[in-house]
Structure 1
Amino acid sequence: MRKIDIEKQININATVEQVWQVFSDFKAYTEWSPTILFLTAAPQQGESTTVLLQQPDGKKMTMHPKVLQLVEMKELRWRGRLLLPGLFDGEHYFILKPLPNGTTLFIQGEHFDGLLVPLLRKMILGPTQRGFEAFNQALKRKVEEQVTMSL
């Protein structure tokens, strides 16, 4: 199997605008994010950026994904590759969906494809998936903490 998809969702007790305000403040990730440690620049659609990631097992990696989609208060999507196309490609996405009760469904996922996917299956379904959960939980805490402080 050369393809694996993972996705994690979390309900955040805040509006999409409040979630986007924290999510899109990429320079502040160093203060709260356990997995996305650093972006060299705010993502711009069609451009590449540099991202420093840390898995829950402690492994760090630097990626240079190309931003495929950036729609304010809705979605950020990028594609990263290991060396050559078709070897190990990942299309990572973050989606914000407003819910009728004024809260936000935050979705983070990735479509993995390539020759190395079967060899990296354990990492994808283990530390990578746990990293998505950790980021989502940390974002929820940060946003809800800011909402509470502004009341």
Structure 2
Amino acid sequence: MFPNFHYTTELHINADAEAVYAAIADFNSYSQWNPWLIQASGVCAEGELVDVTVRLGRRVMSVQHKVLETVPGRVLRWCDLGWFTKAAYGERCRTIEPQATGGVRYRNELPVTGPLAWLAHLFTGRALQQGMQAENEALKRFVESGGSTPEA
């Protein structure tokens, strides 16, 4: 059995589930707000392919993803389709849970499995965790500001 690694970040967003989902499902707007997935293009529908440019620390790389599950207002799940997926497979799931007190709990999970998951963890684990956290915080700012980015 190979060791697996599981990266998780979560936070509270003062917005409704539909607004949060609309932001993460609009791949073409990622360049406006997302510091980790700095560019994306594609359609948010199960089975669709999405081209993503990701910032991992100081490196920038392009990777294709496949949308696996969409539940509007609740779940967006996709997987990497890069050359490395046979050795270290990642499947990211973002969940949105409305809270009785208002807003949502937003959870971003990325399990990495496979015979070289340990190597991916060694070389990119910290950048993955930091990227996910930066994305969460940027999403929170973006959605709570009504879907606009601050002027530079």
TM-score bin (small chain): 0.7 to 0.9
Q: In the TM superposition, what are the counterparts of 1:67-146 in structure 2 within 5 Å?
A: 67-83=67-83, 86-146=86-146
Identity %: 26
Counterparts of 1:144 and 1:83, CA distance in 2: 37
State how many pairs are aligned: 147
Q: Is the 8 A contact 1:32 1:138 kept in 2?
A: yes
Match of 2:51 in 1: 50
Shift in Å at residue 7 of structure 1?
0.7
For each residue in 1:17-38, what CA deviation from the matched residue of structure 2 results, as whole angstroms up to 9, or x when unmatched?
2222322222221111101122
TM-score normalised according to structure 2 size: 0.87
**Which segment drifts farther, 94-103 or 44-53?**
44-53
Task: Determine the structure 2 residue equivalent to 1:18.
Answer: 19
Cα deviation code 1:29-63 (max 9, x no counterpart)? 111110112222122202222111112x2211211
Distance apart, 1:85 and its partner CA:
5.2
TM-score (norm 1): 0.88
Deviation at 1:114, TM superposition (A): 1.3
Q: Which runs of 5+ in 1 are unaligned?
A: none
Distance 1:17 1:84 in 2: 34
Between the aligned partners of 1:40 and 1:18, the Cα distance in structure 2 is 19
The alignment partner of 1:64 has SS state of strand
Displacement after TM superposition at 1:145 (Å): 1.3
Give the SS at the match of 1:46.
coil
2:9 maps to amino acid = K
Structure 1 contact 35–135 (Cα < 8 Å) conserved = yes
